[in-house]
Every structure is written in C-alpha cells, then in structure tokens.
C-alpha cells in the first residue's frame, strides 16, 4: 500500500514516521506540563505515549525488522541502509524500556521500593533526550530506505510494446511496486528487473527463481522458456499469492 507523504514509502512506514514525531512532540508537551506542576496531566501524557509506542513496535516495527534487517546481521551492518535501521531499533528498544520503567515508578505501585527513585527530573530528561535521538535515527532510516534513489536510472522497456524478436524486456522496481505489474512475453524472452530505489528481491511463487537482495541500481535476469503464468513477489515487501509487492509474467508460445 502506497504512503501519503510522496516519498515512495509504504503506507505503514509513513504512518509510523508521523506517529513517532507526534509522540516526540507529546513528550515535549509533557515536560512543559511537569514544569507547570500539572503532574496528573503529565502522567497521562507520558503513559499514553509509552503504551502507543509499544503498540507501534509490535504491529509495525518488529515485523519489518525481522523480515528486512535481521537476516542481514552482522554482514549487512557495513551498509548504512541496514546499520541505520539496526541502531534505530537498538536505541528505540532502550528508550521504550526506560520509558516503561519510569511509568511503572511514577504511575503505579507495582515495583518494590528498592527499584524506585525519587528524583524524577533527571530520569525524565534522559528519556526525552534518548527519545529524540531515536527519532533522528528513524529519520535517517526513512531516508536510506525510502528517499535515496539510484544515481543513474536504467532505461525501461514498456512491456505491451514488445516485439516477438525481442530477446529482453525490463521491469522497473520502484515505489514498492513492479512496473509493469503484469508483463506478457514470448517464450525465450529474458526479463530483466532493475531496482531503482530501496532493497528488494524477485522471487517466484513456485520457487523456480529467486534473486539476491537487490539495491538501487541492481539487476536480476530470468529467461522464460515455458508457456504459462509465473507469479512472483518481493520477499521483503510482498508474499506469494499476489500479496502487496508482487507481479506476474505471462509467457505465450
């Protein structure tokens, strides 16, 4: 599903970015409430942010991390694309754990006395600073994943205009979609997928072919010698059965 910020990101990535920035602003508002000694409103504000972030972590961030980043650890950490996401996840986990600990101390009686603290200000300030550091790393991750593009775009052959004599046609990978999504070719034609932005794979539903993880400027080729319909997908952003980022190659005799 396409995003709404005009960057080529997915809908969920855009939602997550907006919500994270909004929560950072909410924490700043909470700090001002504490300065004005409106501690009840401050408690509600901070607790709500921590619980909302916990929901965002399990619904959006954890699934994305384990599908796209975890398989690339540790070798992929040499690449800013994966390193920024890894650091964002590590710092984000620390910020969430610290935030929940502060909430438990300030808003509940669940912790024993030896685990509590009395000086709230330094703890709150540390959490606020850490949270905005996480947001900065999140912005960096968003840039590397969804904004930075290939320095040189590859030419695209529009599938409907192919000729029987053509040996190769091109499918463009950009904005989390294959263009064209459906491609009709003749037997013996080679399809070349060209990645224009982000990290993607090209994988057949029937496991007949599978590319490595492509990055901006990368290419993958597959020749089709048998008539039929061959559905495929991006292993990072789609799934078998035409789910999300997927496409189909129709091979005619």
Is 0.85 topped by the overall pTM?
no
Q: Which ranges of the chain would DSSP assign to H, the alpha helix?
A: 11-35, 39-56, 62-64, 80-107, 120-142
How many residues in the chain?
253
Name the residue ranges covered by the structural domains of the chain: 11-147, 159-252
Topology of the domain comprising 159-252:
Immunoglobulin-like (2.60.40)
Q: Tens of pLDDT along the chain (253 residues)?
A: 677 888 878 888 999 999 999 999 999 999 999 999 998 999 999 999 999 999 999 999 999 899 889 988 998 898 888 899 999 999 999 999 999 999 999 888 999 999 999 898 999 999 999 999 999 999 999 988 888 754 444 443 344 444 554 588 999 998 788 999 999 999 999 999 999 888 899 999 999 999 998 988 899 999 999 999 999 999 988 899 998 899 999 999 8
Omega cis (within 30) before 74: yes
Nearest-angstrom CA–CA distance, 93 and 134:
9
Nearest-angstrom CA–CA distance, 201 and 206:
15
* Backbone φ and ψ of 37, nearest 5°: 65, 25
CA distances from 119 to 94, 132, 186 (A): 20, 21, 73
């Amino acid at each position: 599903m396409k995003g709404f910020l005009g960057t080529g990101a997915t809908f969920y990535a855009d939602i997550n970015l907006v919500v994270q920035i909004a929560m950072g602003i909410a924490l700043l508002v909470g700090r001002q409430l504490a300065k004005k000694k409106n501690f009840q409103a401050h408690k509600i504000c901070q607790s709500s942010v921590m619980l909302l972030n916990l929901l965002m972590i399990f619904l959006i961030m954890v699934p994305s991390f384990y599908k796209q980043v975890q398989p690339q650890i540790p070798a992929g950490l040499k690449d800013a694309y994966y390193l920024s996401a890894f650091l964002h996840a590590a710092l984000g986990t620390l910020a969430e754990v610290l935030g929940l600990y502060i909430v438990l101390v300030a808003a509940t009686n669940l912790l024993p006395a030896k685990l509590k603290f009395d000086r709230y200000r330094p703890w709150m300030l540390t959490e606020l600073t850490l949270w905005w550091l996480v947001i900065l790393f999140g912005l960096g991750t968003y840039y590397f994943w969804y904004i930075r593009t290939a320095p040189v775009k590859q030419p695209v052959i529009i599938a409907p205009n192919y000729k029987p004599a053509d040996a190769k046609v091109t499918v463009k990978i950009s904005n989390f979609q294959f263009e064209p999504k459906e491609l009709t070719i003749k037997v013996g034609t080679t399809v070349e997928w060209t990645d224009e932005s982000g990290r993607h794979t090209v994988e057949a539903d029937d496991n007949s072919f599978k590319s490595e993880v492509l990055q901006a400027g990368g290419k993958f080729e597959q020749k089709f010698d048998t008539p039929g319909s061959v559905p495929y997908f991006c292993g990072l952003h789609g799934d078998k059965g035409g789910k999300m980022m997927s496409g189909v190659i129709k091979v005619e005799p």
